[in-house]
């Protein structure tokens, strides 16, 4: 197996590379990133001849295709803006593809490449991170158990118990560009059998998660699960698919304020003689702040997060509800969170081995066997529990 990771030196890619590196069956791992020097340094740090770091501009389809030629699968872990160009490069190079999600609208555009991937005999799995990704497959497990599916509610929330040693730092758990988009753009949910736009951050709801997370306040944001689950589950009559996000209260209030004063905007404004994009300026300032405050400090992360699915429907004429949670913390050996970064590694290895046989462009719930996936998560210290009324099944 030969696997390339686009954005391999970014926020998510390095842990995906680490997971890949632990499989001796993988012959080559390409760490490709716009930050070329950082990619090279990351690759060298492994002291593993299988791992190579290079520069890549994912928007450049021709050059990216040349770079990935000969690889079995490409994991697109950079920001979703380059999903479609990287998919086009995979078509040219003859590589399978997966990514971390497309924020609903990009996912819809990516699905239109189905016939192109089918013609080339290639598979693409969209949104196979934590959420979307694990959330979709949790829902699929319940779908397979029910005769009819009425409602699918998916969400994610967690707690951060990290001892910051008294240092006040605004540290996003994932891309701040994505967070600002979630806090600014209207959500799109599937309600009463049709899509509806709903204001971002609306629909506050208390959702129960496994301890120690407990009850968390969650809200609507734009996300990819509603872009695929309604069509995936239409054969069993689904009428509602809703996504909600929960974030630590202090971070939520800070991010909400920043979005409310315009830092979520992508429209340029003039500052003295320069045209700048508020969202990009905010991202750069926050990154610098995190580096300056935490560099050289021995702060060990301690965060716990859950992906959640509640699926209601009928089995043998009886109303039932499946509640599934995938809980993960900081990996005991790696020292980092891995909930988003591990699923694309698992699925890329499945694709490279030919375990996803039908070519085309697929959502996670359409392509990935849920029980196999749950067992692979368990090997990476991520537990899944399934509750049907009072029955609990653990993986």
Say how far apart CA 369 and CA 358 lie, in whole Å.
13
3-class SS letters over 259-284: HHHHHCCCCCEEECCEEECHHHHHHH
CATH 3.40.50.720 spans which residues of the chain?
2-129+338-378
pLDDT band at residue 296 using 50, 70 and 90 as cut-offs? confident
Q: What is the DSSP letter of 101?
A: -
Say how far apart CA 304 and CA 259 lie, in whole Å.
25
Q: Looking up tokens 């490449």, which residue turns up? A: 113
Average pLDDT over residues 120-133: 98
Say how far apart CA 248 and CA 238 lie, in whole Å.
31
Statement: residue 392 has pLDDT above 60: no
pLDDT band at residue 244 using 50, 70 and 90 as cut-offs? very high
pLDDT band at residue 305 using 50, 70 and 90 as cut-offs? very high
Range name among 67-76, 166-175, 201-210 with the lowest pLDDT average: 166-175
Question: Does 62 or 294 have the greater pLDDT score?
Answer: 62
pLDDT value at position 394?
60
Instruction: Render pLDDT for 41-59 as a digit per residue (tens, 0 to 9).
Output: 999 999 999 999 999 999 9
Instruction: Render pLDDT for 358-385 as a digit per residue (tens, 0 to 9).
Output: 999 999 999 999 999 999 999 999 999 9
Q: Looking up tokens 């997370």, which residue turns up? A: 213
Of the candidates 327, 325, 309, 326, the one whose C-alpha atom is nearest the C-alpha of residue 226 is 309
C-alpha 47, offset from chain centre = 28
Non-local (6+) Cβ contacts of 154 within 8 A are: 131, 135, 136, 138, 139, 225, 229, 241, 242, 243, 244, 307, 308, 309, 310
Domain 2-129+338-378 has CATH 1.10.10.10: no
Say how far apart CA 368 and CA 347 lie, in whole Å.
8
| pTM, two decimal places | 0.95
CATH 3.30.360.10 spans which residues of the chain?
134-248+298-335+381-394
pLDDT value at position 139?
98
Residue 387 phi/psi, 5-degree rounding, is -120, 125
pLDDT value at position 390?
53
Instruction: Render pLDDT for 168-190 as a digit per residue (tens, 0 to 9).
Output: 999 998 899 999 999 999 999 99
- Please give the helix or strand (H or E) that residue 78 lies within, else none: none
**From its phi and psi, is residue 237 left (phi > 0), alpha (psi between -120 and 50) or beta?**
left
- How does the average pLDDT of the chain come out, rounded? 96
pLDDT value at position 391?
54
pLDDT band at residue 393 using 50, 70 and 90 as cut-offs? low
Average pLDDT over residues 252-272: 94
Instruction: Render pLDDT for 129-145 as a digit per residue (tens, 0 to 9).
Output: 999 999 999 999 999 99
Q: How many CA atoms lie within 13 A of 259 on its CB side?
A: 19
Domain 134-248+298-335+381-394 has CATH 3.90.1200.10: no
Using CA atoms of 210, 212, 218, 221 in order, give the dihedral in degrees to the nearest 10. Answer: -90
Statement: residue 295 has pLDDT above 90: no
């Amino acid at each position: 197996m030969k696997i390339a990771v686009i954005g391999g030196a970014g926020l998510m890619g390095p842990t995906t590379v680490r997971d890949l590196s632990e499989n001796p069956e993988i012959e080559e791992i390409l760490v490709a990133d716009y930050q070329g020097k950082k990619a090279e340094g990351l690759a060298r740090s492994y002291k593993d001849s299988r791992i190579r770091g290079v520069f890549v501009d994912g928007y450049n389809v021709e050059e990216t295709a040349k770079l990935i030629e000969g690889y079995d699968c490409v994991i697109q872990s950079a920001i979703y803006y380059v999903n479609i160009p990287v998919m086009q490069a995979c078509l040219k190079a003859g590589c399978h593809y997966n990514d971390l999600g497309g924020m609903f609208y990009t996912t819809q555009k990516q699905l239109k490449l189905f016939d192109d991937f089918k013609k080339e005999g290639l598979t693409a799995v969209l949104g196979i991170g934590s959420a979307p990704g694990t959330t979709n497959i949790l829902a699929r497990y319940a779908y397979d158990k029910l005769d009819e599916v009425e409602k699918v509610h998916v969400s994610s929330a967690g707690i951060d118990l990290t001892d910051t040693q008294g240092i006040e730092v605004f540290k996003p758990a994932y891309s701040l560009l994505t967070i600002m988009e979630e806090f600014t753009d209207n959500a799109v949910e599937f309600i009463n059998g049709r899509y509806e736009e709903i204001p971002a951050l609306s629909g506050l709801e208390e959702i129960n998660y496994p301890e120690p997370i407990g009850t968390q306040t969650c809200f609507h944001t734009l996300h990819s699960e509603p872009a695929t689950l309604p069509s995936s589950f239409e054969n069993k009559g689904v009428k509602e698919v809703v996504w909600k996000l929960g974030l630590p209260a202090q971070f939520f209030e800070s991010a909400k304020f920043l979005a409310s004063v315009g830092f979520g905007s992508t429209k340029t404004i003039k500052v003295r003689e320069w045209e700048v994009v508020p969202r990009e300026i905010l991202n750069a300032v926050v990154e610098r702040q995190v580096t300056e405050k935490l560099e050289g400090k021995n702060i060990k992360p301690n965060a716990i997060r859950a992906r959640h699915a509640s699926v209601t429907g009928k089995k043998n004429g009886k109303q039932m509800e499946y509640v599934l949670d995938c809980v993960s913390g900081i990996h005991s050996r790696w020292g980092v969170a891995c909930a988003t970064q591990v699923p694309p590694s698992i699925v890329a290895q499945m694709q490279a081995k030919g375990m996803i046989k039908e070519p085309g462009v697929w959502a996670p719930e359409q392509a990935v066997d849920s029980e196999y996936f749950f067992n692979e998560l368990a090997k990476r210290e991520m537990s899944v529990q399934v509750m049907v009324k009072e029955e609990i099944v653990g993986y």
